[in-house]
Amino acid sequence: MSQYTDVKFIKLGFFIWGIYDLILGFRVIFLSDLLISILG
């Protein structure tokens, strides 16, 4: 039973990490587009 909960927490951690990575990636893309439009 404890091994099953460990796997569940590992999957949850990877899921949260993936969402964070997507948000960070989109933020970098939008910020770079904004900087390019400001600086020319």
pLDDT value of residue 12: 94
pLDDT at 3 over 60: yes
Kindly tell me the sign of the dihedral angle through the C-alpha atoms of 12, 17, 19, 20.
Answer: positive
For 4-37, write each residue's pLDDT tens digit.
788 899 999 999 999 999 999 888 888 888 888 8
C-alpha dihedral (20, 23, 24, 28), degrees to nearest 10: 170
What residue segments make up the domains of the chain, in order of their start?
15-40
Q: State pTM to two decimals.
A: 0.57
pLDDT value of residue 1: 56
pLDDT value of residue 13: 93
